[in-house]
């Protein structure tokens, strides 16, 4: 295991006020986002869209790493440069989503188990050879009457840990993503209890699989009331609940926590990250960073809308969200960012 390389890469990914840009939507997910805006769902359109993102001038000022998907990892710009090379040339670390999706879990109605361990070592070696330096695996947990079950939490946590161990073996930093979903009418307190239980199990399994914690990043959800809960929470309440929960479960050896956005609006994701950094940044062992897909991409995707002529304006919208999230990492984000 290349211990020092893993440690260096993990800390570089959460250095200063930078964060990760997730553009690792699977083909079905990317097509779903395109369909919602009437954009043709073809490989060439997905390529055009991803070229627009990776060629954004100045992206590296706020983005340390970009998470790609298998299709995107193999694609090139119209000028013939691989997306991986474009990122490396810009000083951005390429990463790759390596799970093969969350599937219905047998005998567990309403619950999912993430697949992708079969053949993973060989795929990781290939991605490393292609230039990836970190990877991502996402497990999802839905809150319901009787879910998530202990068996769903254990199975997903063990698979996350087995993935993480394999990544470190080949020199890729594993981004460990256990996502407690926002859907439902549950309270903030319920989300906090479930998130804490999930994170504790994930770290128990990471220890059991002998994963080196200094060489991983955690990508969790924020602690939020369910989308349809009548009692919503303000940014300070979310910040307090999230950090309190993380402190119960995340060892100090972990260099960084890079949150997913999970369907929050772009502005709320920035506001809540900002509140956490204002209130806690100086007293925490880990960096509080971002690894957003929708909360960075969505405004840009809407402007781009499948038209080459809109690419420059879409890139500006993307950069705007990046700058907002950089400010949130510093605890300096405020309304004026959205008015400029």
DSSP 8-state symbol, 76? B
Q: Does the footprint of ligand 13P cover residue 112 (CB under 6 A)?
A: no
**Smaller CB separation from ligand 13P, 233 or 260:** 260
CA quadruple 182, 183, 187, 190: dihedral sign: negative
Least distance (Å) from ligand 13P to the CB of residue 42?
22
**Smaller CB separation from ligand 13P, 111 or 177:** 177
Least distance (Å) from ligand 13P to the CB of residue 315?
19
* CA-wise closest residue to 63 among 25, 95, 92: 92
Q: Does the footprint of ligand 13P cover residue 22 (CB under 6 A)?
A: yes
According to CB under 6 A, which one of 141, 203, 292, 337 is a site residue for ligand 13P?
292
DSSP 8-state symbol, 220? P
Report the DSSP pairing between strands 112-114 and 134-141. Answer: unpaired
The SS3 assignment for 323 reads helix
Site for ligand 13P in 144-203 (CB under 6 A): 177
Question: Is 32 an annotated catalytic residue?
Answer: no
Least distance (Å) from ligand 13P to the CB of residue 220?
11
Q: Which residues of 256-288 are buried (b: 16+ CB within 10 A; e: fewer)?
A: bbbbbbbbbebbebbbbbbbbbbbbeeebebbb
Quick one: which segment of 165-173, 238-246, 290-298, 312-320 binds ligand 13P (CB under 6 A)? 290-298
Q: Are 31 and 41 in contact (CB under 8 A)?
A: yes
Q: Are 64 and 22 in contact (CB under 8 A)?
A: no
Q: Does the footprint of ligand 13P cover residue 295 (CB under 6 A)?
A: yes
Other beta carbons less than 10 A from residue 35's beta carbon = 11
C-alpha span between 7 and 114 (Å, rounded): 26
Q: Does the footprint of ligand 13P cover residue 138 (CB under 6 A)?
A: yes
Q: Does the footprint of ligand 13P cover residue 321 (CB under 6 A)?
A: no
Site for ligand 13P in 63-92 (CB under 6 A): none
**Smaller CB separation from ligand 13P, 110 or 263:** 263
Q: Hey, which bits of 200-338 come out as E strands?
A: 217-218, 256-259, 287-292
Question: Is 237 an annotated catalytic residue?
Answer: no
Least distance (Å) from ligand 13P to the CB of residue 193?
21
Measured between alpha carbons, how far apart are the two ends of the chain, in Å? Answer: 47
C-alpha span between 330 and 161 (Å, rounded): 31
Instruction: Annotate 44-63 with DSSP letters as a single string.
Output: HHHHHHHHHHHT-TTGGGTE
Quick one: which segment of 44-52, 80-88, 274-282, 287-295 binds ligand 13P (CB under 6 A)? 287-295
Quick one: which segment of 80-88, 188-196, 286-294, 324-332 binds ligand 13P (CB under 6 A)? 286-294
Which of 51, 177, 197, 287 does the annotation list as catalytic?
Answer: 177
**Smaller CB separation from ligand 13P, 136 or 186:** 136
According to CB under 6 A, which one of 18, 50, 162, 294 is a site residue for ligand 13P?
294
Site for ligand 13P in 255-284 (CB under 6 A): 260-262
Site residues (vs ligand 13P, CB under 6 A): 22, 24, 138, 177, 260-262, 292-295
Q: Give catalytic residue positions.
A: 177, 219
């Amino acid at each position: 295991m290349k211990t020092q390389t893993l440690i260096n890469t993990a800390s570089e990914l959460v250095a200063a006020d930078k964060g990760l840009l997730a553009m690792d939507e699977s083909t079905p997910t990317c097509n779903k986002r395109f369909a919602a805006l009437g954009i043709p769902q073809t490989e060439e359109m997905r390529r055009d869209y991803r070229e627009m993102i990776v060629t954004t001038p100045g992206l590296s000022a706020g983005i340390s790493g970009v998470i790609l998907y298998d299709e995107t990892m193999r694609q090139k710009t119209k000028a013939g440069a691989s997306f991986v090379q474009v990122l490396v040339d810009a000083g951005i670390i390429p990463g790759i989503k390596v799970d093969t999706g969350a599937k219905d879990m047998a005998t567990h109605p309403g619950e999912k188990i993430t697949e992708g361990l079969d053949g993973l070592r060989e795929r990781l070696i290939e991605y490393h050879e292609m230039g990836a330096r970190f990877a991502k695996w996402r497990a999802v947990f839905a809150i319901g009457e009787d879910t998530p079950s202990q068996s769903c939490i254990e199975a997903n946590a063990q698979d996350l840990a087995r993935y993480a161990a394999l990544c470190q073996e080949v020199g890729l930093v594993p981004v460990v993503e256990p996502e407690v979903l926002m859907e439902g009418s549950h309270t903030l307190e319920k989300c906090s209890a479930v998130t804490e239980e999930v994170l504790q199990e994930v770290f128990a399994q990471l220890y059991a699989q002998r994963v080196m914690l200094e060489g991983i990043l955690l990508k969790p959800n924020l602690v939020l009331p369910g989308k349809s809960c009548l009692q919503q929470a303000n940014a300070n309440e979310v910040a307090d609940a999230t950090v309190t929960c993380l402190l119960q479960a995340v060892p100090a050896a972990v260099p960084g926590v890079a949150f997913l956005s999970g369907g929050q609006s772009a502005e709320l994701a920035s506001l809540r990250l900002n509140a956490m950094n204002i209130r806690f940044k100086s007293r925490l062992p880990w960096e509080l960073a971002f690894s957003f897909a929708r909360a960075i991409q969505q405004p840009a995707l809407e402007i781009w809308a499948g038209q080459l002529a809109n690419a420059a304006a879409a890139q500006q919208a993307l950069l705007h969200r990046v700058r907002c999230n950089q400010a949130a990492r510093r605890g300096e984000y405020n309304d004026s960012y959205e008015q400029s």
